[in-house]
Structures are given as structure tokens and as C-alpha cells.
Chain A
Amino acid sequence: MGRNRYNKLIMSSSKHSHIALLSGDEALAQGAYEAGLSVAASYPGTPATEILEYLSRFSEVNTQWSVNEKVAFEVALAASIAGVRSLFSAKHVGFNVAMDPLMTSAYTGVGRGFVIVSGDDPGLHSSQNEQDNRWIARMAKLPLLEPASPAEAKEFAKKAFEISEQFDIPVMVRMTTRICHTKENVLLAERVEAPKKEFKINVPKYVMVPRNAYVRHIDLEKRMIALQKYSERTPLNKVELKNKNIGIITSGISYMYAKETYPEASFLKLGFSYPLPEKKIRDFCKKVKRVYVIEELDPILEHEIRALGVTIKAKDASFRVGELLPELIPLIVQGKKRPEEVSTTRKPVLCPGCPHRQTFWLLKKLKLTVNGDIGCYTLGALPPLGSLHTCLCMGSGVTFMEGFGKAGQKPAVGIIGDSTFVHSGITGLINAAYNKAKGLLIIVDNATTAMTGNQPHPATGVTITGEPTKKLVLEDICTVCGADHVDVVNPYSMKEFEALIKQRIAEDALSVIISRYPCRLIERTKAAMPVYVKEACKKCGICLTINCPSITRQEDGTIDINKNMCTGCNLCAEVCIPGAIRKS
């Protein structure tokens, strides 16, 4: 959906002096495009997905949804080494998947500029953890830029390519959900081509065997010293001297909240936040009476600035959890604790007619313990469906099934989506087969990466730009991985599906059932709606246990089926014991 929409918005914006209302993701992508970006790779993940979606509209940029983040990182780094400007982007946890190549990339350095973008998710709006990827810059020894707004994201992306080439190092740009998904006026400019630099064979630089890597490590430490000096002089680290009684050192979105709250305070805004501009920080602290460090999540700036031997005030430890909000800034300054909040937000549910609902209804009916994975189907854990019992990371549906089985769980049942299976389930399935595991893996194949907004993947046979490509056939790959049985079912054929699950869990085998039906956001067809006979309704509420958004209870205890939302999947008719809801 992304491509057409973006084209329309940009075209319209050209009527208004080339200003567009762009999100942080889009603005960063626009900046990279203007900087002559040639290759970009990623795997979808909120809040960073839209970076690649936006880039895919430009014919000058070769974009791809990679199989996973490790692959994406390697493809993009290699393109840089081979001589073109390239970009890797992922959500914060996607960086974990890419850590293997990432940790050595500062050693090899780059060819042309290589920019890596992390979309962190403070507040866990759509993630399994709240990790602070500013640590990764420190661990991997990468310079770190932190834009505070979409307009800055665009400028910083351009700057990042320059720094990458000047210091022969990948540059990390860290964004957060609140920047990725904030929209702001952004000025559009023309693209400036970055000509290809010929790749020159340089074995000591690009072949990371121990001896070469040792020498490259020495070189890296030299580059870090040079980067520290750069950090002192770059205008990305900006001092705004106003009232000298209060000084605030901050970075990223925290700057905006602090500036909004204390417009008259003095600020040291760290746009280039690693390595730190130590002298600039010391000088700033001398000029103002009291210095506060305001940062979201982990106390990274706080600890590093304290290590410089200067006196600062910082947030209470309770603020290490959760997203920062503008109204919390005064509490941080006053040294108070973060107030406890009870979430009252409406929880997401599976869409009306979603084929996952049938699957979870059956798993619940059969009272199975189920190892889950990451995607829309993780919603199967929420009551009243409540038939998914573990979920840790991408691919864990398969490996947890094996681990549970090895611990004696019978039957061991795992569930994973099609995109997630391709991302990191295949290795788990090979492992299960090789290590003689038994169990049932259900692949809920809705032919898309649904949760992040319907991106294609190898098993869809379509690329990011919508072109047809070689299609990975899931049943074939499951067979060659070593599954004893591979069946494909239509989840709406519930009797057949149920019988198959019962048969497979009774066998001493490693089985895969592919439950295949396209996501309802792709296939928006409607079948005949069920008929509700109010007089036959016993008001038992069993139809509500399938948690379909189109069914609501009325004040008198009967129900209403919203005819605009209903897709005619008939699961409610299936579960209605009194027979008040009937297939038409």
C-alpha cells in the first residue's frame, strides 16, 4: 500500500514549495535518498518499517525486504564495501539478529558511506522488550547520531553518510517510536548522486581473520579517538546558553520535552552522542549552576558524564522504565519517582474474519499447551481466546516447541507465522529434525507480514516493489528440513483441521500443518453473513468467547452482529450451542 500513497503525498506537496508532512522514518529515508543512497535492506519491524517502504518508491535505490536483519545488514554493508552508499534499518530487537556482522563492521570499516538506523521502542508500543540501543553503539564502537525530530532525521541522515566516509566506519542513527511516527514539515531537496567508488582488493582490511582483525582493532581505536575529537567540534552537539541557573544535557526526543517544559533553561543538546564531547560537557557544566541530565530509558549519559567527574542531577531509577512524556519532565527535575500508571487502553484484537481465530479456537478446544511466536497471532494469548502460552522472540515458536518436548511436554505444539518462519523458524525446524524432536508445528500462513502493515516476504513470491520473483514454497522447505508430515489445510474447514490436529498429536512424529488463508486485510471478500435468530438465543455468551469485534452484547443480553464488519467466516455459528446463530 505504501508506494502509491507516498507518491500522492509528495506530488501534492510540490504545490507548497516542496514541503511535505513527513514522519521521522520517511524524513530519514528522504535524507538518505537525497544523499545518493544506492542500496537499502531491512526486515519489517515497528517503528522502523516505513523507512524502507518510503525508499522503495525511488528507482535510484535498490531496496529489499531481506529474509532477516542479519542478512539485511550483510547485504547493505557489502554494498558499501563494494563502493556505493548503503543503509540498513531495523527495529531495536532486529539489531540483536544482526549483531554478528554488526560487531565486526567497525573493524572492516566501509567503502562508501554506510548508515544503520535503529528504531527503538520506549514504552513497548509494539515490541517484546524495551532495550536501549545506545548501548550497541558503545559495544560495537560505532559513532551515534540521535535526531530529535523528523526534520533533524533528514539532516542527520545526510550528515551520517559524510561522517561514515570521513572516518571509514558505519554510522548508527538511533530513533525512537516518538520520532519515527511523528510527522513534521520537512523541506525536500534534489538528490545528489554519490558516484560509485571502485572496490580495491585489500585483504588486511576486509578479511577478518585473527591477525588482520587485531591490526584493524588498533586502527579502530585510532578512529574512535578521531571521532571523539570530531564530537567536540561538530555543531551536532549544540550549546544554547540562556538562564545560567539551570542547564540541561539531553539528546533525542528528550530534548523536545525538556525544551517545551523549560524554554528559558540553558541546553547542551547532544546530536552526536557517542563518543561524547567530554570537553564541551565540562565547559557547559562550568557555565551553569545546576546541571540536569534528561534521557529516556537507561542512565547512559548520566553514568558517562558522572565518570567525567562533574556534578549532575539525574532522574530517579523508576524512570528507567517506560516512555518519557512531556508532563513527566518536571518530576524528573524535582527528583521525584515516576507515578504508577494503570493502562486503560483498549487492547488490540484479531480482525473480524481473521483466519487465525479459527486456529486458536481449535487449540483452545483441544486444551493444548502452545508455544507461540511474534506476529498478529500473538494476540491469541489474550483472553478470552487465550491459547498461546509462551512468546519470546522471532523463531521461538519452533525452538520452544522442541525445548518443551525435550522437557517431557506431550504433545509439544508450536505456532508461527509465514513471515516469521522464513525469518528464523527454518533453522529451528532443521534443528528439531536433526535432534529427533517430536511435535506439531502449525504455520499460520496468511501470505503476508501482517502486523507491520502487510509487507511481502520470500513465500509470497513478490518483492518490496511489487514485482513477481522466485517463490519459496513452504511445504517444500518443511519437507526438506526433515518434517515427517507436512499438511496444508484451510482454517475455515474446521472439522478437517480439527481431525488433522488430533491425528498428528497422537503420532510420534515431527509434523507441520500449514494453515493457509490470506490475511483479511489483503483478501477483503465477504461470504454470506450468518443469521441470528434472537428468539432462540439463550444469552449464554459463548459467541463472545471467540472475541470477534463484529459481535457485541446488547443491554438485554442478546447480541448484535455488525453487518459492515462481518466477513461471513461463520465461526460464531460454529460455536453457538443453542443454534441461535446459523449459517445462512
Chain B
Amino acid sequence: MRRSLYPGRDPEIMKKDTVVNILFCGTGGQGVLAASEICGWAALVEGYHVKKSEVHGMAQRGGSVESHVRFGKKVFSPLIAKGSVDYLVSFHKEEHIRMVGFLKPKGIDLIASFDASHTYLADKRFLNIFLLGALSRYLPLKIESWFAAINTVFADKNPEENKKMFLKGRESG
């Protein structure tokens, strides 16, 4: 397992054999699933075992959307148990309130990045990329892996714009 290139965040999760638990929440149409997809790919590119879980169907129609991403040496459950979330990435204030109880006691809540997005981000379509940038500061994944993942999931559409928004989010936190 790779060591963090960004030390001083949360040493606990960098220990061998531990699994990193990230919960993305928002509503249908906000790009929550694309965000978790990119996160999953970024971890996969670095050789981690990844499990990502969400529900499709009704969720497309503006309902609540939550996506669990877990990666590490070996992952069993695709769902993060309540109270075990390391990082909570919210796309919506009300959904944040609903999910904040899933954080573990020392878990990191990225709601400040969502708040910051109102000032930093003119185009809401880049909210997911912006929040991933903010999240990336805490995760032991190389920045090239994130860019590779973004270009994989978005099929090389707007690579420069995405890169810019990602870095904006990364610097915002």
C-alpha cells in the first residue's frame, strides 16, 4: 500500500490493512455518482482494491443519492457501516444533515468545501470536480491518478477545464 504524499492529515487511515471510507451524498443530477466513479478509478489506478456502492433507478429523478467508496488492500463490505465514514463529501446542505451521523468520531467533514464552492465556482456543473479536488488533499493518491481517473470517466471531455476546477478545489480547503 502506498504511503501518503500529503502527510499530516489523518495518520490513522494510512496504516497498512486499513480501508479508506468515503461517503458522497447529494441529490439526483448533481454529479454525485460521477464523483464517486472518479474516486474509485483513482484508487484502482494505484492498485488498491476498490468497492463503490450506490443505488440507481428512482434516484435519477431528483431523489437522495449516496455513494460509498471504500479502498484498501482488501475490501469486504461495499457499504460503510454507520459511524465509520472517514470522509463525508456533501453536495447538498439537507443531505449533509441527513448523513453527518455516518461520520466516525474523528472523521473529516468536507462541508466547508461545499460552502466555499459558492464563492469559488461560477459553473455548478463542476461542483463534483471541485469537491474531489478538496477531498484529494486528504487521500494517499497521486495527483496524476486523479487526472487519469477524471479523463477516463469523462471520456477525455474538457480535460483542461476539469484540471483547473480540480486544482481550484484542492487549493480551496
State yes or no: do A and B come from one complex.
Answer: yes
A residues neighboring B (CB under 8 Å) = 4-5, 8-9, 12-13, 16, 19, 21, 46-47, 125-126, 149, 177-179, 181-185, 253, 256-257, 259-261, 263, 325-327, 344-351, 376, 379, 451-453, 549, 564
- Also in contact, A178 and B28, with CB within 8 A (given A126-B58, A348-B62, A451-B58): no
- Also in contact, A351 and B61, with CB within 8 A (given A16-B45, A260-B77): yes
Asked if B59 is at the interface of the complex by the 8 Å CB criterion, the answer is: yes
Name the residue of chain A whose CB is nearest to the CB of B102.
A327
Name the residue of chain A whose CB is nearest to the CB of B79.
A326
Q: Which residues of A contact B78 (CB under 8 A)?
A: 149, 178-179, 182, 184, 253, 256
Closest Cβ of chain A: how far from B118's Cβ, in Å? 15
CA distance A452 to B57 in the complex (A): 6
Q: Let me know if A181 and B53 touch, CB within 8 A.
A: yes
- Also in contact, A185 and B50, with CB within 8 A (given A47-B57, A325-B81, A451-B57): yes
- Also in contact, A256 and B77, with CB within 8 A (given A21-B41, A346-B94): yes
Q: Which residues of A contact B49 (CB under 8 A)?
A: 184-185
CA distance A287 to B44 in the complex (A): 38
In the complex, per-residue mask of B42-55: 1 if CB is within 8 Å of any chain A CB, else 0: 00110001111111
Q: Let me know if A183 and B98 touch, CB within 8 A.
A: no
Name the residue of chain B whose CB is nearest to the CB of A347.
B63
Name the residue of chain B whose CB is nearest to the CB of A17.
B47
Q: Which residues of B contact A260 (CB under 8 A)?
A: 76-77, 81
Q: Let me know if B77 and A257 touch, CB within 8 A.
A: yes
CA distance A325 to B53 in the complex (A): 12
Offer 18 A-B interface pairs, CB within 8 angstroms, sorted by A.
A9-B152, A9-B153, A12-B151, A13-B152, A21-B50, A149-B51, A178-B53, A179-B78, A182-B78, A184-B51, A184-B52, A256-B76, A256-B77, A260-B77, A325-B79, A325-B82, A344-B98, A451-B60
Q: Let me know if A16 and B44 touch, CB within 8 A.
A: yes
Q: Which residues of B contact A21 (CB under 8 A)?
A: 37, 40-41, 44, 50, 52
Q: Which residues of B contact A348 (CB under 8 A)?
A: 28, 58-63
Asked if B124 is at the interface of the complex by the 8 Å CB criterion, the answer is: yes
Asked if B117 is at the interface of the complex by the 8 Å CB criterion, the answer is: no
Q: Let me know if A182 and B53 touch, CB within 8 A.
A: yes
CA distance A59 to B62 in the complex (A): 35
Q: Which residues of B contact A9 (CB under 8 A)?
A: 152-153
Q: Let me know if A349 and B55 touch, CB within 8 A.
A: no
Name the residue of chain B whose CB is nearest to the CB of A521.
B60
B-side interface mostly: mixed
Q: Which residues of B contact A47 (CB under 8 A)?
A: 55-57
Name the residue of chain A whose CB is nearest to the CB of B156.
A8
Q: Which residues of A contact B94 (CB under 8 A)?
A: 346
Asked if B172 is at the interface of the complex by the 8 Å CB criterion, the answer is: no
B54, B79, B155: residue with the most chain A Cβ atoms closer than 10 Å: B79
Closest Cβ of chain A: how far from B40's Cβ, in Å? 5
Q: Which residues of A contact B80 (CB under 8 A)?
A: 326
Closest Cβ of chain A: how far from B155's Cβ, in Å? 4
Q: Which residues of B contact A253 (CB under 8 A)?
A: 78
CA distance A348 to B61 in the complex (A): 5
Cβ < 8 Å to A, chain B residues 70-85: 75-83
CA distance A200 to B94 in the complex (A): 64
Q: Which residues of A contact B41 (CB under 8 A)?
A: 21
- Also in contact, A345 and B64, with CB within 8 A (given A46-B57, A260-B77): yes
Closest Cβ of chain A: how far from B16's Cβ, in Å? 15
Asked if B128 is at the interface of the complex by the 8 Å CB criterion, the answer is: no
Q: Let me know if A327 and B81 touch, CB within 8 A.
A: yes
Q: Which residues of B contact A345 (CB under 8 A)?
A: 63-64, 98
Q: Which residues of A contact B153 (CB under 8 A)?
A: 9
Name the residue of chain A whose CB is nearest to the CB of B125.
A564
Q: Let me know if A346 and B95 touch, CB within 8 A.
A: yes
Q: Let me know if A12 and B61 touch, CB within 8 A.
A: no
CA distance A181 to B94 in the complex (A): 25
B44, B50, B58, B82: residue with the most chain A Cβ atoms closer than 10 Å: B58
CA distance A474 to B152 in the complex (A): 41
CA distance A178 to B28 in the complex (A): 18
Asked if B27 is at the interface of the complex by the 8 Å CB criterion, the answer is: yes
Q: Let me know if A453 and B60 touch, CB within 8 A.
A: yes
CA distance A112 to B59 in the complex (A): 38
Name the residue of chain B whose CB is nearest to the CB of A150.
B51
Q: Which residues of B contact A256 (CB under 8 A)?
A: 76-78
CA distance A564 to B78 in the complex (A): 35
Name the residue of chain A whose CB is nearest to the CB of B71.
A185
Q: Let me know if A177 and B55 touch, CB within 8 A.
A: yes
Closest Cβ of chain A: how far from B119's Cβ, in Å? 19
Q: Which residues of A contact B56 (CB under 8 A)?
A: 46-47, 126, 181, 453
Closest Cβ of chain B: how far from A476's Cβ, in Å? 31
CA distance A564 to B127 in the complex (A): 15
Name the residue of chain A whose CB is nearest to the CB of B83.
A327
Q: Let me know if B76 and A349 touch, CB within 8 A.
A: no
| Nearest 5 Cβ contacts at the A-B interface | A126-B57, A46-B57, A348-B61, A348-B63, A182-B78
Other A-B contacts than A16-B45, A327-B83, A346-B95, 15 sampled, CB-CB below 8 A, are A4-B155, A21-B41, A46-B58, A47-B57, A125-B57, A125-B59, A181-B55, A183-B40, A184-B78, A326-B77, A326-B80, A346-B62, A347-B63, A379-B61, A453-B60
